[in-house]
Structure 1
Amino acid sequence: MVANAARDETRPDPDSLLAANRPEGRGRLTIFLGAAPGVGKTFAMLSRARALRAQGVDVAVGLAETHGRSETAQLLDGLETLSRRHVAYRGRMIEAFDLDAALARHPRVLVVDELAASNPEGSRHPKRHQDIEELLTAGIDVWTALNIQHLESLTDVVADITGVRVQERVPDLLLSKADDIVLVDLPPAELIARLKEGKVYLPDSARRAAERFFRLGNLTALRELALRRTADRVDDDVVDYLKSHAIEGVWAASERLIVCVGPDTLSEKVVRTASRIASGLNAPWLVVSLERADREPSDPADPGRIEALFRFAETLGAQTRRLIASDFVAELLKLARREHATQIVLGVPTTRRRLFRLRPSLADELAAQAAGIGLHLVTGSAEPRPPRRTRRQDWMPRLLAACVACLAVAGATLTGLGIEQVVPLSNVSLLLLLAVVVAAIRAGYASALLAAVLSGLAYNFFFIPPLYTFTIASPHEVFAFVIFLLAALIAGGLASRVREQARTALSRAIVVQSLYDFARKLSGTARTEDVLWASVSQLHESFGRAAVFLTPSEAGELALAAAWPPDAELDVSDLTAARWAFSHREPAGHDTGTLPASPYQFRPLTSPHGVIGVCGLRWDAGPVDALSERMLLAVMDQAAVAIDRARLAQESIAQAARLQGDTLRAALLSSISHDLRTPLATITGAVTSLRQLGTRMSPESRDDLLLTIEEESSRLSRFVANLLDMTRIEAGTLDATRDWLDVGDVIRAAVERGARYFPDLAVETAIAPDLPLLRGDGVLLGQVLFNLIDNAAKYAAGAPVRILARMESGQLVLSMTDGGPGLPAEDLEAVFEKFFRRGGPDGRAPGTGLGLSIARGFVEAMGGSITAESPVENRRGTGIVMRFPVSPPETPEACSP
């Protein structure tokens, strides 16, 4: 297991490996970075492009701005230049980069100048860097040029340096996502000389540029920005290489700081000092809080100080992390090796030197073990000792601990004296040692320390000769007394330590169980509303404070979605703080730097898709401890994941519905294209024959063609009627009438209609006498029977069809059976689905697959049910059974014919 742990610690960083692997099929982005116009970025790009072209690589120029420089324009000779598109702009025609032409040409390497430029109105993308992103996605390697002043984060800095605010800007993320950065550098003096010679701008433009932008100080500052940003990128590449190759330790190519802080007042000074050091070195820095794994903070306000310190450090540009361990030095050095830190900054308080130091300080141990890592010690100013606290809540716990120690020792002493009156004891010291353990378990280390001292005094006074004095006569008794005192101190310390660990373990177990119950509760919720209500109830139960969740409405406004207690209300200041937290992705409200007057503290709920809501917790009752803070973050994270999962589930259902709709539309189109084309072709052929050969055909042939046209037209009419009926059923507009029907008359009418369309189909009927009248729609019931006859004609394979009508268990039962091959058991329910068709006797699937689906819709509209049965007789045949509830007529006149 040790070996496995060592392998895990030295394995490559997964994030670095993923970052190093570019998505398959994506092109490489190379940025030629310069400090200012005229340093030679385009010249460098075209020079490299010509060299690459000479090696046989497919290189093309999509856009190259020469700005009238002849030496740059000469480099275009011999390079393929793609055509540009002409766009009307402010009354004149201009040339613009043609993205579609570049995608159609698809060279291996494409040169596209001026990364920060904007596209003319009407283009596919407003910015050129968006065009380049599409080219990269298409698998084309792109070379482009960028001046440092066009980076978004440097806009204000450049404006302060040059007095000119750059309008064309690009996100800094483009620079970090670039596969290669080529720095094109030129000393400011040479650049100014090129400007005066007219090699940068035309004479009039060069004069204005020299007066406003191209000053020696401006160019020097911009050059420093370009060099620093390139150095930062190279440093990131070094770190990624170290992590992806599992190389630990320090490569001092650049500085990285780890800053150790705690809840003491010196930590704020440590953070400020580390910020100045990191700013001077242009180095990233990580602020780490050190916490014991086996004990809780002594001061309940400590977690609040740590959180405030973290927020302060983050405003200064630091990253923050909690480090929970028993051995601070080992964990800190392990973290430093993982992060490749070069310096560690920590504070050393100015206090009186102790006469006896049981163990070296953290600074001393780091100095002894941190080989190759610099150590910065920040000392605090000598502060006066704080005045004694006399409040009751401060001295009452101490008085209680002292009482526990005194009572434990007094009880053990009296018990020992009582036993010695009966039986002499040689090991009475064990009773006093037990008193120390009891005091440690009941009241902590301070009580155990006092009990150890009192036990030693009681042991000397009552049990070591001469009795009732503090004098020890025998040397071996002195040794026994010293050993007893040391054993009492050690036992008390260990017992109090076990007590603290047990309390910490219990509190953590409660938190873990609470989070587990909350996770189980969320696992059974599928709607966002249920997730929000479960979350607010969990927060209220865990913290005993009012909790609210706010989510954006369809209009984009943040609105209260759930609150517990349910009557919790938010005023204008609360809603303003919540909107701030939502829009700025940082905490707002009580105990923050934004709208602290609100009694709530609002925190954004973040997911991979952005901020999805805001969680608010009543904070004016005081800050929470470290364990509760972690529980709050865990609940918020789980709630965000559950809300995101619910949203994705809803989108998945909607997507499944869209896919099902597409499938149904495709099936409908396929059915129509196949089943309607045949009668249309037959009708067209018959009409064409009548037109061309009408007078030359015999009367019998003309009658046959006319009969064919009539039959196929009826078939088309049935298809269209089925489609309309299905539309009415799905739209919910089917309105069945409720008239009294004679079922026998409806059956006979349907059989007569079927005989006209299917003269070869034999239909037998059996109608029970004295059937009651049925309350329903005769037209719909007749259509159902005709659809069943039509279906039987396709699949009965020439066997007769029987229609039965009878009463059974108070219901009117209509059944139709055929002697066909039957249906497998798995298709008995599927036959009523839309577009379901099985192969007929000839192997083809006839019809549109809507007849039985329409039949079910009509029967259910009349309050009945319809099912399929197979086999029916001799392992063959299919039966369709309809059941209708029968109610007595309302009046005798209703029963009369």
Structure 2
Amino acid sequence: MTSVDATGAAATGLGELLPDGLVEVDGERRIRFVNPEALRILECEEADVVDRPLDDGLPLTDKYGRDWWAHTDPWSGLTSRTGHREKLLVAPKGHDVLVTARYVREVPGGPVARVLLGLRDAEARQRAERDQATVLSTVAHELRAPLTSVTGFTSSLLRRWDRFTDEQKRLMIETIEADATRLTRLITELLDISRLDSHSLNLRLGPVDLHALLTTHVVRYELGRSSGTVQLRLGEAATARGLPEMWADSDRLEQIFFNLIENGLLHGAGAVTVTLDRDDADGGGADEAVVVEVDDEGEGIPVADREKIFGRFWHGPSNASTGLGLYVVRGLVEAHGGSVHVTDATSGGARFVVRLPAGLPAVMGGS
């Protein structure tokens, strides 16, 4: 690289090692130094930039097409200016780049002797913005469908109550209740995602009889469905020796297994079997755990997709769900110090295996 004065970035050698792009411009508006990362970001060669006038070697424009150097002009204006914050500008090759500037004066209040530019690739930020837009679009779509149903039926009932039979009224009110429940569940999942991503999820731990919880949950689930069956059974180890003591957030456990059972009924093709067992291969102690397997009779999940399904808003080919449930499941299981994975069920469908530590979860300092 071209050398500059002893106080310059190139002479120190640090500019070569910086993870961000660095460009140094002298008081004569001539480019004196460009590090390798800046060359990569600008998609140019050193000879295209170094020792060339700023307007020629590094023309930057804002989103309105204005010449950024003429607009900001570091060498004029108030002598108290020290630089500018990160700006999204257009590079000479037409792609976006994030630019930060620092104005260096040899004496306070004196003229600008050097301008140091920090360059960062804008691709990561733009990708995050696209992902955020996709999330907002997905959420809006998922909220709109049940809201449309609720408002449509309530409007019809309010304006034409006398025209409907009691059976029609019951059907419409049941539909409103189901859609309102769906909305509540979706909003709860969105709030949980926010808490999981910000590591602010709080668990209300207490002793839990998981067998009783699942029994009540399965019976309630069966009574509320018109199709599909859900069966609960104990594994061999649990039948022989019972289940170990378990501390957990019972509401969160219900949420975990509701999502897994719902997933099995939605994507499967028949019954869902829930197997509750214990896992203490070493005879108990620190490795003692409770294992729950949720099997369906669907087509199963390809090996290549078995990690993807736990991602946010991952639908798969059917596009039949919000894509939030399994992301929340993994987050809640891991918050309890456990793990969840998917494999093949003996029925040929998918098997979700949830392993939860017995006793106090590791996140609470228990054994």
**Shorter-chain TM-score tier:** 0.5 to 0.7
Rounded to whole Å, the distance in 1 between the matches of 2:68 and 2:295 is: 68
Question: Is 1:813 aligned to residue 291 of structure 2?
Answer: yes
Aligned to 2:140: 673
Aligned to 2:326: 852
- Deviation per residue, 1:750-792 (Å, 9 max, x gap): 3234335533120011123311121211111111001112212
Q: What amino acid is the match of 1:873?
A: T
State whether residues 816 and 880 of structure 1, in contact with CA within 8 Å, keep that contact through their aligned partners in structure 2.
yes
Rounded to whole Å, the distance in 1 between the matches of 2:201 and 2:154 is: 37
Question: Is 1:759 aligned to residue 232 of structure 2?
Answer: no
Aligned to 2:345: 872
- Deviation per residue, 1:111-138 (Å, 9 max, x gap): xxxxxxxxxxxxx9999x76xxxxxxxx
**Residues 1:557 and 1:774: Cα distance change in structure 2 (over 3 Å):** farther
Rounded to whole Å, the distance in 1 between the matches of 2:116 and 2:259 is: 55
State whether residues 868 and 879 of structure 1, in contact with CA within 8 Å, keep that contact through their aligned partners in structure 2.
yes
Question: Is 1:584 aligned to residue 113 of structure 2?
Answer: yes
Rounded to whole Å, the distance in 2 between the matches of 1:693 and 1:611 is: 71
**Residues 1:659 and 1:747: Cα distance change in structure 2 (over 3 Å):** farther
CA drift at 1:884: 1.7
Question: Is 1:774 aligned to residue 246 of structure 2?
Answer: yes
State whether residues 835 and 848 of structure 1, in contact with CA within 8 Å, keep that contact through their aligned partners in structure 2.
yes
CA drift at 1:850: 0.8
Rounded to whole Å, the distance in 2 between the matches of 1:850 and 1:757 is: 22
State whether residues 104 and 113 of structure 2, in contact with CA within 8 Å, keep that contact through their aligned partners in structure 1.
no
Describe how 1:270-349 pairs up with structure 2 within 5 A: none
**Residues 1:722 and 1:804: Cα distance change in structure 2 (over 3 Å):** same
SS in 1 for 2:321: coil
Aligned to 1:793: 265
* Aligned-residue RMSD, C-alpha: 3.9
Q: What amino acid is the match of 1:766?
A: R
- Deviation per residue, 1:575-620 (Å, 9 max, x gap): x79x99x9635xxxxxxxxxxxxxxxxxxxxxxxx547xxxxxxxx
**Residues 1:831 and 1:701: Cα distance change in structure 2 (over 3 Å):** same
- Deviation per residue, 1:27-55 (Å, 9 max, x gap): xxxxxxxxxxxxxxxxxxxxxxxxxxxxx
TM-score, normalised by the number of residues in structure 2: 0.63
Q: What amino acid is the match of 2:345?
A: V
- Deviation per residue, 1:82-129 (Å, 9 max, x gap): xxxxxxxxxxxxxxxxxx9xx9xxxxxxxxxxxxxxxxxxxx9999x7
Rounded to whole Å, the distance in 2 between the matches of 1:877 and 1:742 is: 28
TM-score, normalised by the number of residues in structure 1: 0.27
Q: What amino acid is the match of 2:254?
A: G
Q: What amino acid is the match of 1:879?
A: R
Rounded to whole Å, the distance in 2 between the matches of 1:655 and 1:556 is: 26
Rounded to whole Å, the distance in 2 between the matches of 1:878 and 1:804 is: 13
Rounded to whole Å, the distance in 2 between the matches of 1:886 and 1:748 is: 19
Describe how 1:563-602 pairs up with structure 2 within 5 A: 584=113
Aligned to 2:204: 737
**Residues 1:753 and 1:720: Cα distance change in structure 2 (over 3 Å):** farther
CA drift at 1:668: 2.0
Match of 1:803 among 274, 299, 302: 274
Rounded to whole Å, the distance in 2 between the matches of 1:888 and 1:728 is: 21
SS in 1 for 2:320: coil
SS in 2 for 1:691: helix
Rounded to whole Å, the distance in 1 between the matches of 2:68 and 2:360 is: 75
Describe how 1:302-701 pairs up with structure 2 within 5 A: 584=113, 610-611=115-116, 651-652=120-121, 656=124, 658-701=125-168
Percent identity of paired positions between Structure 1 and Structure 2: 29
Q: What amino acid is the match of 1:861?
A: A
Match of 2:353 among 881, 890, 895: 881
CA drift at 1:807: 1.3
CA drift at 1:888: 8.7
Match of 2:337 among 849, 863, 881: 863
**Residues 1:757 and 1:839: Cα distance change in structure 2 (over 3 Å):** farther
Rounded to whole Å, the distance in 2 between the matches of 1:733 and 1:813 is: 26
Question: Is 1:832 aligned to residue 310 of structure 2?
Answer: yes
**Residues 1:788 and 1:716: Cα distance change in structure 2 (over 3 Å):** same
Rounded to whole Å, the distance in 2 between the matches of 1:705 and 1:785 is: 29
**Residues 1:675 and 1:783: Cα distance change in structure 2 (over 3 Å):** same
The count of corresponding residues between Structure 1 and Structure 2 is 265
Rounded to whole Å, the distance in 2 between the matches of 1:754 and 1:664 is: 35
Rounded to whole Å, the distance in 1 between the matches of 2:183 and 2:357 is: 34
Q: Which has the higher contact order (CA 8 A, sep 6+)?
A: 2
Q: What amino acid is the match of 2:333?
A: V
**Residues 1:867 and 1:125: Cα distance change in structure 2 (over 3 Å):** closer
CA drift at 1:802: 0.6
Aligned to 1:715: 182
State whether residues 103 and 116 of structure 2, in contact with CA within 8 Å, keep that contact through their aligned partners in structure 1.
no
State whether residues 754 and 790 of structure 1, in contact with CA within 8 Å, keep that contact through their aligned partners in structure 2.
no
Q: Which has the higher helix share?
A: 1
**Residues 1:837 and 1:710: Cα distance change in structure 2 (over 3 Å):** same
Question: Is 1:783 aligned to residue 255 of structure 2?
Answer: yes
Aligned to 1:703: 170
**Residues 1:825 and 1:686: Cα distance change in structure 2 (over 3 Å):** same
Q: Which has the higher strand share?
A: 2
Q: What amino acid is the match of 2:326?
A: L
Rounded to whole Å, the distance in 1 between the matches of 2:128 and 2:340 is: 25
Question: Is 1:746 aligned to residue 213 of structure 2?
Answer: yes
State whether residues 204 and 249 of structure 2, in contact with CA within 8 Å, keep that contact through their aligned partners in structure 1.
yes
**Residues 1:555 and 1:802: Cα distance change in structure 2 (over 3 Å):** same
State whether residues 292 and 354 of structure 2, in contact with CA within 8 Å, keep that contact through their aligned partners in structure 1.
yes
Q: Give the unaligned 5+ runs of structure 2.
A: 1-46, 76-100, 282-287, 362-367
State whether residues 146 and 183 of structure 2, in contact with CA within 8 Å, keep that contact through their aligned partners in structure 1.
yes
Q: What amino acid is the match of 1:754?
A: Y
State whether residues 754 and 789 of structure 1, in contact with CA within 8 Å, keep that contact through their aligned partners in structure 2.
no
**Residues 1:793 and 1:772: Cα distance change in structure 2 (over 3 Å):** same
Q: What amino acid is the match of 2:356?
A: F
Q: What amino acid is the match of 1:863?
A: G
CA drift at 1:800: 0.4
Q: What amino acid is the match of 1:828?
A: R
SS in 2 for 1:584: strand
SS in 2 for 1:805: strand
Rounded to whole Å, the distance in 2 between the matches of 1:697 and 1:811 is: 55
**Residues 1:754 and 1:827: Cα distance change in structure 2 (over 3 Å):** same
- Deviation per residue, 1:276-330 (Å, 9 max, x gap): xxxxxxxxxxxxxxxxxxxxxxxxxxxxxxxxxxxxxxxxxxxxxxxxxxxxxxx
Q: What amino acid is the match of 1:800?
A: A
**Residues 1:712 and 1:611: Cα distance change in structure 2 (over 3 Å):** closer
Q: Give the unaligned 5+ runs of structure 1.
A: 1-13, 27-99, 104-123, 131-151, 153-553, 559-575, 586-609, 613-646, 890-897
Aligned to 1:117: none
State whether residues 667 and 835 of structure 1, in contact with CA within 8 Å, keep that contact through their aligned partners in structure 2.
no
State whether residues 265 and 271 of structure 2, in contact with CA within 8 Å, keep that contact through their aligned partners in structure 1.
no
Rounded to whole Å, the distance in 1 between the matches of 2:196 and 2:342 is: 20
Q: What amino acid is the match of 1:848?
A: T
State whether residues 864 and 884 of structure 1, in contact with CA within 8 Å, keep that contact through their aligned partners in structure 2.
yes
SS in 2 for 1:695: helix
